[in-house]
Chain A
Amino acid sequence: MRRELLDVTGNESFGPYTLLRVDRGDIDPGRPGQFFMLEAPGRLLPRPMSLCLAPPGELAFLIEALGRGTQALCALRPGEAIHVLGPLGNGFDLDVPRPLLVGGGVGIAPLPYLAETLGEPPAVLGFRSTHHAEASALLPGAEVAIDPVLVTELIAPGHDILACGPEPMLRAIERIAPNAQFAWEAPMACGFGACYGCAVEVDGTLQRLCVEGPVLRRRGRVICC
């Protein structure tokens, strides 16, 4: 885990999402599913973002401008710089015989790096519109479902699912594949286990998502909010 001031090297749009690229500095990209705390200009707290891609010499994050922090991040341009801390959290367990990546909306964020690491396994992605589905360009070869078709309808049985997306999508997957790996999210302050702010309920006990997760592999109930 390192913290560095990194230069912004790119800002590209993929549908309504932004792929923010920064110089990697001496930061280790870590494992797929791990995340970084990104300084959000003008805001008090950094924002947790999973690593989307690790291009040579860079780190790239896929971000949707939903609130003030993400709006600030999506407005960054080359020439600016932000502090980045990471890698943080656990990552996906890559030792699975038949991986299938399942992503929804901005939840596809950790999947491109994961796909690259696993050698481009099958992937199914769901989006709410064709405009949102432009982000599927980050996972060439993925099957895409657009509302009202749900991504869960594209899931073929017999796979080891690695999923990230909106809570209803994760719950639907949980019902059909209880042993799937899910990347959850929670509001965070520190991101490294000190503040206990990101606690989520896993199998009836509260655990820090930044330490026990963000990828959770257990069966059972997870309650984030």
Chain B
Amino acid sequence: MTKTVTPEPREGNAPVRIAETDAGMLNSIGLANPGRAAFLAEMLPRLAELGLPIWVSVGGFAAEEYADTCRALDGRDDVACIELNLSCPNVDEAPESAADIVASCRRETGLPLYAKLSPAVPDVGALARAVEDAGADGLSLVNTIRGLALDEGLRPVLGSATGGYSGPALKPIALAAVHAAFRATQLPIVGMGGVSTGRDAMELIAVGASAVALGTVLFSDPDAPRRVREELYAELSLLGHASPEEARGVARSAPATPKP
């Protein structure tokens, strides 16, 4: 997954951009990126040399900006999927709704379009249905959620005061969002938020994720993709599932009687 590409280069937000908290971290990077032209000319060819499927994260401040980038990426065989970053808490939101942005992008490309949604919406299921109706091919759940940290002097740590909260604290939020989306649509769902072990990945699959993404854990463990996959397959095996596909949504049943 690339860093979000915007039409114009963005320097990003003022330092400080990183704050560690007890159960997670905050980032206020602010979509720093070299812009679409430099991405296409320089970064994408270098990424393609890795020989891995490339998902491009697309951002913007109006539906037209997202759509323009989708048009520029359309038909490229070095792009496996476009993930629309509809929910970054560190930048101003586009005026159009998520569904409108998806619809604008759908008209511009035949590449798979995944909608990355914020957990901070009143009804994730309804939003999932709306982007599905607008033509999304899948969902990415969840983006970070807005948070703030103060230092010992009671000053915000981040240069922009607030940032996106990620890490272990986000996992229950991600589980709830995937659970709601899985009950609302048939779309494939990439679950993400606070995954650091195979068990975490198993939980997201159990509530309905068809794939799992890692973010924050990579800062402390760049080997996490290999390790989490290995641990996940051990979990699946222990629980008697032949594959992640087979285990998808197994947490569907009502909660067990709470233990006293």
| Interface residues, chain A, with chain B CB atoms under 8 Å away | 3, 39, 43-46, 68-69, 83, 85, 186-192, 194-201, 205-206, 223-225
Contacts and interface: CB of A to CB of B under 8 A. Distances in A.
Contacts of A200: 15
B20 A45 contact: yes
A196 B220 contact: no
Given A45-B219, A68-B20, 15 more contacts: A3-B223, A44-B24, A45-B20, A69-B20, A83-B220, A186-B16, A187-B16, A187-B19, A195-B27, A195-B219, A196-B12, A199-B12, A199-B15, A199-B17, A199-B32
B75 interface: no
Given A194-B218, A195-B27, A195-B219, A44 B15 contact: no
Contacts of B32: 196, 199, 206
B20 A3 contact: no
A46 B15 contact: no
B15 A45 contact: no
16 contacts: A44-B23, A44-B25, A45-B20, A45-B219, A85-B222, A186-B15, A188-B18, A189-B18, A189-B216, A195-B27, A196-B3, A197-B27, A197-B29, A199-B29, A199-B32, A206-B11
Interface centre among B159, B216, B219 (most CB of A within 10 A): B219
A43 B15 contact: no
B60 interface: no
Tell me what chain B mostly uses at the interface: helix, strand, loop, or mixed: loop
B167 interface: yes
Contacts of A189: 18, 25, 27, 216, 219
B25 A198 contact: no
B168 interface: yes
Top 5 nearest A-B pairs (CB, nearest first) are: A197-B18, A196-B32, A206-B11, A189-B219, A187-B18
Contact of A201 (B15, B24, B27): B15
Contacts of B221: 83
Contact of B25 (A3, A45, A186, A199): A45
Contact of B18 (A192, A194, A198, A206): A198
Q: How large is the interface on B (under 10, 10 to 19, 20 to 34, 35 or more residues)?
A: 20 to 34
B223 A205 contact: no
Interface string B139-179: 00000000000000000000100000001100000000000
B223 A206 contact: no
Contacts, number: 75
A201 to B, nearest CB: 7
Interface in B210-235: 216, 218-223
Contacts of A194: 218
Interface in B1-58: 3, 11-12, 15-20, 23-25, 27, 29, 32
A46 B217 CA distance: 11
Contacts of A199: 11-12, 15, 17, 29, 32
A178 to B, nearest CB: 22
Contact of B15 (A39, A68, A224): A224
A46 B11 CA distance: 25
Contacts of B23: 44
Nearest to A188: B18
Contacts of B19: 187
Nearest to B158: A187
Contact of A195 (B18, B24, B167): B18
A196 B16 CA distance: 11
Nearest to B152: A67
Given A39-B220, A44-B216, A195 B16 contact: no
Given A3-B223, A39-B220, A195 B29 contact: yes
A83 B223 CA distance: 11
Given A190-B218, A194-B218, A196-B3, A44 B16 contact: no
B32 to A, nearest CB: 4
Contacts of B12: 196, 199, 206
B25 to A, nearest CB: 6
A68 B219 CA distance: 17
Contact of A46 (B3, B16, B167, B220): B220
A3 B218 CA distance: 12
A196 B17 contact: yes
Nearest to A197: B18
B27 to A, nearest CB: 6
B219 A46 contact: yes
A57 B19 CA distance: 34
